Amino acid sequence: MITLGVICKIKNDRSLVRVYYQGTITDFIPYLATANSFKRHFIPPRVGE
């Protein structure tokens, strides 16, 4: 299931976010980042995204 929400808190050192959606805030959940073999530039998510 995919649900759209807004990031409200981040723990970058552990790759975890809390997300606000449908009137609730989740526990910290892991986030995924895309990568490939020729580009290694990573921008972590920000609050409000």
Reported pTM: 0.71
- Tell which wins on pLDDT, 9 or 13: 9
| 45: in domain | no
Mention every residue, 6+ apart, whose C-beta is less than 8 A from residue 27: 18
**Number of compact structural domains in the chain:** 1
Using pLDDT thresholds of 50, 70 and 90, give the confidence band for residue 29: very high
Residues 11-37, mean pLDDT to the nearest whole number: 88
Residues 32-45, mean pLDDT to the nearest whole number: 75
| 23: in domain | yes
Backbone angles phi, psi at 3, to 5 degrees: -130, 135
For residue 6, what are the domain limits? 1-32
